[in-house]
Amino acid sequence: ARGGDEPALTDGIHLVVDALKLNRVETIYGVVGIPITDLARLAQASGIRYIGFRHESDAAHAAAAAGFLTQRAGICLTVSAPGFLNGLVGLANATTNCFPMVQISGSSERHIVDLQRGDYEEMDQLSVARQLCKAAYRVSRAEDIGRGIARAIRTAVSGRPGGVYLDIPAAVLGEVIDKDKGAKSLWEVVDPAPKQIPDAAAVDRAIELLAGAQRPLIVLGKGAAYARADDAVRQFVESSGIPYVPMSMAKGLLPDDHPQSVATARSLALKQADVVLLVGARLNWLLGHGDAPQWNPDAKFIQVDIAANEMDSNQPIAAPLVGDIGSVMDALVERTKPGQIAAPSGWRDALAEKSAANVAKMAKRLEAAKTAEPMKFLGALQAIRDVYAEHPDVYLVNEGANALDLTRNTIPMSVPRHRLDSGTWGVMGIGMGYAIAAAVETGQPVIAIEGDSAFGFSAMEAEVIARYDLPVITLVLNNSGVYRGDEASPSGDPAPTYLSARHDVLMQAFGGTGYQATTPDQVSEMLRKALAEGKPALIDCIIDPADGSESGNIGHLNPKGLTGKK
């Protein structure tokens, strides 16, 4: 029998859970197995919500989306070697997108792994992770668990947010130490993402450039959405009168029907702008690297970014504004004298005219799609658009090629941070993970608009949606293929782009509601019903296999060589 004077003990697993709770972690996304199953159990028993996935990349994508939506590090939990590797896609994608998350992974016995003696799930995980994320750490003693978690959280959310890997070997999870000593080893991170105030001279330099501009333009990126500087962004945009274009995940930061949005005259805006203010948007491939002829070769760039080394990555930055976006936008608002910046009306009129012409051209295509049989992408999307307009608070997740580009252009957003998509990499597979996180973190309903290929990457997570009874409605724009479904095959096998699935039946197998829609009217009727019910549902929207173009809007990125389509 234990004597009353025996020391109270704790172990690594308890310390991990205690440290996460101390840092107000509310949810863990993961897949269990050796050596972390008891960790998930204990977390759940201690009041942390544990969402069990079917594949780690989806759990990691979910943690990343949680980070984007909350400005706190999303937590993903994986097992050794293969589970760890599966999670890395989400960890690397989070880092590319600047979403804060921590992948905590169990790992095998160090003394066996390091001599490559062939352990169960042997892998030098720390070395593998290091090049794929913002930082990678390993805890080697139970007494360092609190330090490891504090360091991982701080690194994930501070400065430019990103993914952090935290390796905790099985032996450390099982290590037993004195309970008091353990408790004293934990701490809560104070002010994890401190403000970074820009230099006043840098702010004034930017204001002077904008004040002298003939054709100024603002580009809002997902960094601006993440920063939650909504009021300051709006104030600066509106008081300056400068036209703006939102990058896809910045849609809704200002409502898409804002009179200064020139999303529908984007090409002209980029081509002619003489001074460009980038707010949380990088000059990467998504913006053609800032190069001519897409951009005016004489354009001067002002860039707002928390990472100084983002400046000059693609173009000379005439006025770098290094700081957190909220502080920079506040400073721009504060230091601009009344009337100092005013976008010339000729420029605004030219963009408005181009915009009206583009909208009129598109209107014809949209009108024709309403009645086309078989259903076109734009037929289904207009039906979704009209129902979504009645529910602006619903989150929208979107991936695919045509399904991505056409949704982005067809469905306006009116609330910040409500659109989550394939992001900087254009990655497939974020769909169900992002949708699950959006539902779990916000308590709001979610619609996921998915290409049929895109959906397949995380389709098994529809079971998670059903198991946790989440209000996620997936609309699969099913044109029977990657890009399209009508490609002839030169062999007895299906063409490389061809696919075939009844996704509604898949959802039914998991206990959710599955619908099949073949007309826009059915799409809107089923979506309305599903939103009213607020239950797991999937609408398989059958789209003309001949609708869609190779790689959507980015077909030009395919290598031409001898085979490239003319």
Backbone angles phi, psi at 405, to 5 degrees: -65, -45
What minimum distance in Å lies between the beta carbon of 470 and ligand TPP? 22
Binding site for ligand TPP (CB under 6 A): 400-403, 426-429, 451-454, 477, 479, 482-483, 548, 552
Residue written as tokens 């989550």?
Answer: 420
The residue nearest ligand TPP at its CB is 451
**Which residue number, 295 or 455, has a Cβ lying nearer to ligand TPP?**
455
**Which residue number, 11 or 540, has a Cβ lying nearer to ligand TPP?**
540
What minimum distance in Å lies between the beta carbon of 65 and ligand TPP? 16
What minimum distance in Å lies between the beta carbon of 454 and ligand TPP? 3
Residue 95 tokens, joined:
């880092």
**Which residue number, 43 or 375, has a Cβ lying nearer to ligand TPP?**
375
Q: How far apart (Å, rounded) are the C-alpha atoms in residues 515 and 252? A: 29
**Which residue number, 322 or 369, has a Cβ lying nearer to ligand TPP?**
369
Q: How far apart (Å, rounded) are the C-alpha atoms in residues 105 and 168? A: 6
Number of separate helices (H) and strands (E) present in the chain: 22, 19
**Which residue number, 432 or 477, has a Cβ lying nearer to ligand TPP?**
477
**Which residue number, 98 or 543, has a Cβ lying nearer to ligand TPP?**
543
Residue 539: name the closest of 559, 555, 556, 521 by CA: 521
Q: What is the DSSP letter of 554?
A: G
What minimum distance in Å lies between the beta carbon of 547 and ligand TPP? 8
What minimum distance in Å lies between the beta carbon of 451 and ligand TPP? 2
What minimum distance in Å lies between the beta carbon of 44 and ligand TPP? 31
Within 10 A of 558 (CB to CB), how many other CB atoms are there?
12
Q: How far apart (Å, rounded) are the C-alpha atoms in residues 129 and 88? A: 7
One-letter amino acid for residue 316 of the chain: P
Q: Where are the alpha helices (DSSP H) in 131-229?
A: 145-157, 170-173, 179-184, 200-211, 222-226
Q: Which H or E run contains 343?
A: none
**Which residue number, 57 or 296, has a Cβ lying nearer to ligand TPP?**
57
Q: Where are the beta strands (DSSP E) in 162-299?
A: 163-169, 176-178, 216-220, 244-246, 275-279
DSSP, collapsed to helix, strand or coil, labels residue 326 as: helix
What minimum distance in Å lies between the beta carbon of 461 and ligand TPP? 15
